[in-house]
Amino acid sequence: MKPGSNQTRQHQTGQHRTGQHRTGQHRTGQHRTGQHRTGQHQARQLSVIAAFVAVSIVVPLTLGNVYPFTTAPMFSQRAETYCEFFVQDSMRQPLPTGEWELQLNFDGNPPEVTGGVLPPPTLNEFGTVPEGEQVYEHLWDMLLRDDCIYGEVGVRQVIWFRDGNRLWSDENLYPNVVLPE
């Protein structure tokens, strides 16, 4: 058969369309071209896939939350209650709760999972409700700070909790808090 004859051209251009070819050479693997079906290339791909799977499993379970790896701990801690504080000065003007370390540092993650900068300190952790003496002592410590320009503050604490099948809120008031003599 001469090169360029009809039969040869058919072999070069049209062989994939013939049913004979599909049931013949394809099934035996002889026609598998390029590197995709070669054992060496498949073994290389398999080893990379296995390494990717192994790293995805092992690193989060051993190192924990080191981006880009994660154990996805967001919203994993259940809570029964939380509270919010509202601070005001003696003239009833609202003050930032962060300046009194009463803000809620909650983004859904457990407290130990934070960014590269630690959240500012606070008395108020999600899931806990500081009350009574604990709040007074904290406020006295704040009033004693060198940079504190206030002699008196008032604090309103709103506590959220379950009652029946709904959430309800209750309030604690700490009015006119001044340093004890």
Partner 1 sequence: MIRRIVERQFDLAAPRFGQIAIWIIITCAAAITFQPFEYAQGERNPELVTVISWLPVSILENQMLFNVVRGLFALSAVMWLFRKWTPWTCWATVLTFTFAVSLRFENSTSVSQMYNLTNMLLAVHALWHHLCDDRIKEAAEKRAFSKTLLYPRWVFGLSLFSIAWFHTLAGISKLRESGSEWGDGVSLQLWTNLLGEKGSLGSDLLMLDTEYSAMFQTALLGLECAALVCLLHWSLRYVVGIGLTVSYVAMCMAFPGLEFYFNAVPVALFLLPFDRWFGLGFSSEIPEVGGRGGDAAETDSANV
DSSP state of 109: S
Q: Which helix (H) or strand (E) holds 39?
A: helix 39-63
- Residues 6+ positions from 131 with CB-CB distance below 8 Å: 157, 172
How far is C-alpha 140 from the geometric centre of its chain's CA atoms?
Answer: 35
By the rule CB under 8 A, 76 interacts with partner 1: yes
Compare residues 53 and 178 and give the one whose CB is closer to partner 1. Answer: 53
Nearest-CA neighbor of 173 among 92, 80, 105, 81? Answer: 92
Task: Select from 18, 37, 134, 137 the one that contacts partner 1 (CB under 8 A).
Answer: 37
Stretch that binds partner 1, among 85-93, 111-119, 133-141, 172-180 (CB under 8 A): 111-119
When binding is defined by CB under 8 A, the residue of 36, 92, 147, 173 that contacts partner 1 is 36
What is the sign of the dihedral through the CA atoms of 93, 98, 101 and 105? positive
Residue 9 in the binding site for partner 1 (CB under 8 A): no
For position 159 contacting partner 1 by CB under 8 A, the verdict is no
Among 5, 10, 49, 152, binds partner 1 (CB under 8 A): 49
Q: Does 58 bind partner 1 (CB under 8 A)?
A: no
Rg of the chain over Cα atoms, rounded to whole angstroms, equals 35
Question: Given the DSSP bridges, would you call strands 94-95 and 152-163 parallel, antiparallel or unpaired?
Answer: unpaired
Q: Which of residues 86, 97, 99, 106 is near partner 1 by CB under 8 A?
A: 106
Strands of the sheet with 81-89, listed across from one edge: 94-95, 81-89, 152-163, 166-178
Smallest gap from residue 96 Cβ to partner 1 (A) = 15
118 in contact with partner 1 (CB under 8 A): yes
- Which residues of the shown chain bind partner 1 in the complex (CB under 8 A)? 16, 22, 26, 31-37, 42, 44-46, 48-49, 52-53, 56-57, 60, 63, 65-82, 104-110, 113-120, 126, 160, 162, 164-167
